Amino acid sequence: MTTFKRVDVHVEGIVQGVGFRPFVYSLANRLGLAGRVHNDVNGVHIEVEGALAGVEEFLTALERDAPALSAIERVTVVSGEPAGHRGFTIATSDPAGTRRALVPADTATCDDCLRELADPADRRHRYPFINCTNCGPRFTIVRGLPYDRPMTTMAAFGMCDDCAREYHDPGDRRYHAQPTCCPACGPRLRLRDPRGTELCGDPIACAAALLRAGRVVAVKGLGGYHLAVTASDERAAAALRGRKHREEKPFAVMAADLAQARLLAEIDDTAAALLTGRARPIVLLPRRRDGAPAAGSAAPAVIPAVIPAAVPAVAPSVAPGNRSLGLMLPYTALHHLLLAELAEPIVLTSGNVSDEPIAYEDDDALTRLGGIADAFLTHDRAIHQRTDDSVIRPLPGAITMLRRARGYAPEPLALRRPVPRPVLACGAELKSTFCLAQGRRAFVSQHIGDLENHDTLRSFAEGIDHYCRLFGIRPEIVAHDLHPGYLSTRHALEITGVEHVGVQHHHAHIAACLADNGDPGPVIGVAFDGLGHGTDGTLWGGEFLRADLTGYERLGHLAQVPMPGGAAAIRQPWRMTAAYLRDDHPGLDVARRNAERWADALHLAATGLDSPLTSSAGRLFDAVSALLGIRDKITYDGQAAIELEQRADPAETGAYPAAVTTTSGPLVVEGGDLVRAAADDLTAGTDPGVIAGRFHNGVAAAITRACVALRKSTGLTAVALSGGVFQNALLLDRTVQRLRAAGFRVLKHVRVPPNDGGLSLGQAAVAAARDAT
Ligand SMILES: [Zn+2]
Ligand SMILES: [Zn+2]
C-alpha cells in the first residue's frame, strides 16, 4: 500500500504568459512535491510526485487558485511511475508538436505595477513600460508560439541583472513575465518631431506641454499609434479633424481615472466595470453635459447640462451631434503618466487618415501621420499585430460589443459543438474580421477595418496567416459572403485545395447571433442592416428568416423600395426620403433643401432607372433621418441612423403603425407607413425628437407584429436579433421589451458585434454545421 503518487498533468486554455508556471512551482513547493513544469505548444505540462494527500491537494488547488489572467479549458491527469525527481523545477519550453496553446489578449497595467510606477523608491518609478505577469502587452507583441520572450518583440532587449533575477525567481511577481524590463534594459520613450528628430527634455512633460499648447501629438500605444489633443481644446480638436479628414465621426476621449470620467459621463456599475476592467475598451456613455447637437439643430436637452467646474468641458468638435461620448481609461503606464502630467482628459483617436488602417510601424507612422501630428511620443518596442481599441456600448444589465479588438482578441469563443474540419471564414467588406475555427474554439480576429482600402486588405491577408501559424490551424473549409465583389469573397476564392462554402449575408448574421449565444436554433431571425447580397438579385437588409446553423428560409422582409441613384442613395439619405414619399407630401423641407435633384430622384425612383430595389432597414432609418433634417448627406457609415437615434426622445411612448401583410409569399412590413406617419407629424409641427421616438417605437412594434405572425405559421418562439441596425440601443431596447412582452425568448449579441464585425463567426458556424451533416 503506497502513499506515494506520481501524475502527469496537462493544462489547456489561456495558461501561457499569465504566471501559470510560477503558480504551479510555488504550489508544488508549498505542498512539498517534486517534479517539473514546462510550457508546450498545447499549454502547460506538469510532472508532479510526492505524498498522495499532497498530490490530491495539488490537483484541487491547480484549478481553484489559478492565476487571475488564466482561463483553464481542460485538465488531463495521467498516473505514472515515480521518476525520482529531486525538488521542483521549471523546465524550458518545448516548441515541438501541434500548436494549440492560446495567446492572451493585451492587459491593462495592474494595481501592483501602478503602485511601483508611483513609488520614487522603486527602480521602475515613472517607467512607461512597467509590466508583470498580471499585466502588459501580450497579443500585440507575440510573433509565434510558444509564448516566450524570444518569440516576442521584446527579444531585442537583453535583460539586465536585476530584471533577470526577478525573471528567474519563482517567488517574484515578474517570474517568467516575458515582456518584463526596466529603465536600465528595456524600451526607451522618445519625443520626436515629424521629421523623426529627437526632441530634448522629458518626453512626457514635453508632450503634455505641447498638448496644453493646442498641438496634436501622436502616441504609440499597444496596438498602434493614436492621435491626441486636449479634449477641451476646440481649436485643436477641429484642427485634428481637418488634418485627419475625419469630418464628423466622434473621437474617443481618455480620462485619467474613474473620478475624472464621471465628470464627463453618466457611469453606472456596468459601465464602471467595463472602464476599469483589464480589457479597457472604449465605452459609449451618456454625456454629462448638453451634448453638442448636430450643426443647426437644437436637440432637446434630455441629458441634463452639468458642466463641473473641476474639468473643462469636452470641445464641441470631439463628438458633434452625439449625446454619448466614447470614454476609456489609461491601459498602459505611458497613458497613466501622460494623463497625470496633463491633469485633464485627452482625445485619443486612431492614428490614421480617414478610413486607412491605424499606423503601427514607426517609419510608416512618421510618413503617414507626419502631416497630422506636431510631435511623436514613441518608443523602440515594436508592435507585431496592429490592433485597434475595442468599443462597447453598455445597456441596462447587458452590453453590445460594437468593435472587438484590443483586450479581447485573440481569445477564442467557445463553440457549442466541435467543428468537424478546420474552418476559415472571411467575413464581409466593412468592419471586416475573419474567423478561424478548430475543435470547440472560434478565433474571431480583431477588427481589421474596411477592406476596400489596399492596406487593410494586406492586413487581412497577413492576419489570417499569422493566426493560422499562431494557433496551428490549416483550414480545410473556407466560408465567404455571396457578394462576388467583396474583396473578402475574392480572397476566399483564391485559396486553393479547400472546400468553399458561400453563406448568405443575413443568414450569417443570424448564425453569428446563434453562435454568440451557444444556441443551435431554429429561430425567427430578424436581420436588420445596411445592405447585403440577396439571392433574388435585390439588396436585402430588413429580413425575417427561419434560420438554424445549416440553413434558412426567407419568411418576410421590409417592403422593397428603389434606391434612386444606387450607391449615391447610401451617401445621400435624402434620396431615400424621396423614394419613400414620392409626391405624397409636397412642401417638405427635405425637398426644398435638395430642390436641385429632388425631381430627378423622384423620376429615378418612379422609373426604376439606376435604382436597385432594397428591403434595407438601414435605408429606412436614413429616409426618416433626412426627413427630419438631421442628416441629408453622410460622412461615415451609419451616420444618419446614429444621429436619428441620438435625437429620439427616449421618454416618447407613441408608436407609428406599419401594415404587416401576409397574403401570399413572404410576409411584408410596410416601412413606408412609418415614413409617411413621420412626415404627417412633421407637417403638423411635431417636435423632431418626438417623431424620432415614435419612429423607433414603430419599428420595434412592426418587428414584434411580424414575429407574432411568423410564430403562428412556424411555431417558433425564439427570436434572434442581428445586423448593424441593432447597434441602435434605443431600437434594441424597445424591440427586446416588446418581443418579451409578447412571450418570445430573445437572443441578442454579447461577445461579437451585431454589425458585420460579427459576420465571420456566423459564416464559420454555418460552414461547420453543414460539414457536420
Ligand atoms: Zn502588473
Ligand atoms: Zn532591467
- CA of 183 from ligand 2 middle (Å) equals 6
Say what the pLDDT of residue 294 is. 33
pLDDT (0 to 100) of residue 30? 92
CA 426 to CA 489: how far, in whole Å?
7
Ligand nearest to the CA of 183: 2
Closest ligand (CA of 186):
2
Average pLDDT over residues 539-550: 97
For the cut 90, the answer to whether the pLDDT of residue 418 exceeds it is yes
Ligand nearest to the backbone CA of 164 = 2
How far, in Å, from the CA of 22 to the mean position of ligand 2?
20
Cα(155) to centroid(ligand 2), Å: 13
Between the CA of 349 and the centroid of ligand 1 the distance, in Å, is: 25
Specify the pLDDT at position 289. Answer: 61
Give the SS3 label for residue 217: strand
Half-sphere exposure of residue 395: CA atoms within 13 angstroms, side-chain side:
19
Mean residue pLDDT of the chain comes to 92
CA distance linking residue 203 with residue 226, whole number of Å: 16
Point out the least confidently predicted range of 102-106, 556-560, 638-642: 102-106
Instruction: Show the cell assigned to 382.
Output: 515594436
- How far away, in angstroms, is 647 Cα from ligand 2 center? 54
Nearest to 556 by CA among 565, 546, 564: 546
- The total number of residues written for the chain in this structure: 773
The pLDDT-based confidence of 42 (bands split at 50, 70, 90) is: confident
> Cα(195) to centroid of ligand 1, in Å?
34
**Least confident residue range of 36-45, 243-252, 591-600:** 36-45
Separation of CA 105 and ligand 1 centre (Å): 14
pLDDT at 299: 36
Cα(688) to centroid of ligand 1, in Å?
50
Ligand 2 centroid to Cα of residue 161, in Å, is 7
The tens digit of pLDDT for each residue in 643-661 reads: 999 999 999 999 999 999 9
Which ligand minimizes its atom distance to the CA of 167? Answer: 2
Stretch 61-72: mean pLDDT: 87
pLDDT of residue 43: 84
- Ligand in nearest proximity to the CA of 115: 1
**Choice between 99 and 125, residue whose per-residue pLDDT is larger:** 125
Of the pLDDT bands very low, low, confident and very high (cuts 50, 70, 90), residue 193 is: very high
Burial (CB count within 10 angstroms: exposed 0-12, middle 13-18, buried 19+), residue 461: middle
Kindly give the distance from the C-alpha atom of residue 61 to the centroid of ligand 1, in angstroms, as a whole number.
23
Q: Is the pLDDT of residue 39 over 80?
A: yes
Beta bridge partner(s), residue 33: none
Give the N- to C-terminal CA distance of the chain in Å, as an integer. Answer: 51
Residue pair 257/331 in contact by the 8 Å Cβ criterion: no
**Average of pLDDT values for 551-565?**
97
Which grid cell sits at 130?
512597467
Strands, sheet with 4-14, edge to edge from the N-terminal-most edge strand: 71-80, 4-14, 43-51, 34-40, 88-90
What is the CA(94)–ligand 2 centre distance, in A? 26
Q: Which ligand is nearest to the CA of 68?
A: 1
pLDDT at 304 over 80: no
Ligand 1 centroid to Cα of residue 116, in Å, is: 9
State how far the Cα of 451 lies from the Cα of 457, in Å rounded to an integer: 5
- How far does residue 186's CA lie from ligand 1's centre (Å)? 15
Distance 139 CA to ligand 2 centre (A): 22
* Proportion of the chain above pLDDT 70, given as a percent: 95
pLDDT for 662 equals: 87
**Ligand 1: centre distance to CA 276 (Å):** 14
Mean pLDDT over 108-118 rounds to: 96
Rounded to the nearest angstrom, the distance between the alpha carbon of 13 and the centre of ligand 2 is: 30
How would residue 35 be classed by pLDDT, with cut points 50, 70 and 90?
Answer: very high
At 100, the pLDDT band (50, 70, 90 cuts) reads low
Highest mean pLDDT among 168-177, 252-261, 450-459: 252-261
Overall average pLDDT of the 449-457 stretch:
87
Distance 128 CA to ligand 2 centre (A): 13
Q: What mean pLDDT is predicted for residues 79-85?
A: 86
Q: Distance from the CA of 114 to the center of ligand 1, in angstroms?
A: 7
Window from 181-190, 230-239, 315-324, 689-698 with minimum mean pLDDT: 315-324
- Ligand 1 mean position to 278 CA, how many Å? 11
Residue 144: the pLDDT is 86
Which whole number is the average pLDDT over 257-284? 94
pLDDT at position 617 is 98
Out of 66-75, 169-178, 291-300, 715-724, which region has the weakest mean confidence (pLDDT)?
A: 291-300
Among 528, 433, 476, 524, CA closest to 710:
524
Ligand showing the shortest atom-to-Cα distance for residue 18: 1
Distance (angstroms) between ligand 1 centre and the Cα of 284 equals 27
Ligand 1 centre and the CA of 132: distance in Å? 4
| Rounded average pLDDT over 273-283 | 95
Check: CB of residue 103 under 8 Å from CB of residue 147.
yes
Helix count and strand count (H, E) for the chain: 23, 28
Residue type, 644: L
**Band (323; pLDDT cuts 50, 70, 90):** confident
Range with the poorest average pLDDT among 58-62, 155-159, 165-169, 452-456? 452-456
Characterize 578-617 residue by residue with b for buried, 16 or more Cβ atoms within 10 angstroms of its Cβ, and e for exposed. Answer: bbbbeeebeebebbeebeebbeebbebbeeeeebbbbbbb
Question: pTM here?
Answer: 0.89
Hey, which bits of 142-212 come out as E strands? 189-192
Task: Find the 112 Cα to ligand 1 centroid distance in Å.
Answer: 6
Selection from 557, 566, 562, 501 nearest residue 534 by Cα:
557
Q: Which ligand is nearest to the CA of 174?
A: 1
> Residues 6 or more apart from 216 whose CB is under 8 A from it?
227, 228, 229, 236, 239, 240, 243, 372, 373, 374
User: Is the predicted pLDDT of residue 364 greater than 90, yes or no?
Assistant: yes
Statement: residue 217 has pLDDT above 90? yes
For residue 136, report the distance from its CA to the centre of ligand 1, in Å.
7
What separation in Å is there between the alpha carbon of 156 and the centre of ligand 1?
21
Task: Please count the other Cβ atoms lying within 10 Å of the Cβ belonging to residue 537.
Answer: 8
- The pLDDT value recorded for residue 452 is 84
* Alpha carbon distance 516, 400 (integer Å): 12
**How many angstroms does the Cα of residue 762 sit away from the middle of ligand 2?**
45
**pLDDT at residue 311 tops 80:** no
Distance (Å) from CA 163 to ligand 2 centroid: 4
Does 348 have pLDDT greater than 70? Answer: yes
Instruction: Give residue 189 CA to ligand 1 midpoint distance, Å.
Output: 19
Give pLDDT, residue 541: 97
Which ligand sits closest to the CA of 111? Answer: 1
Ligand 2 center from residue 181 Cα (angstroms): 5
**What is the Cα–Cα distance from 174 to 736, expressed in whole angstroms?**
47
| pLDDT score of 754 more than 80 | yes
pLDDT in tens, 685-707: 999 999 999 999 999 999 999 99
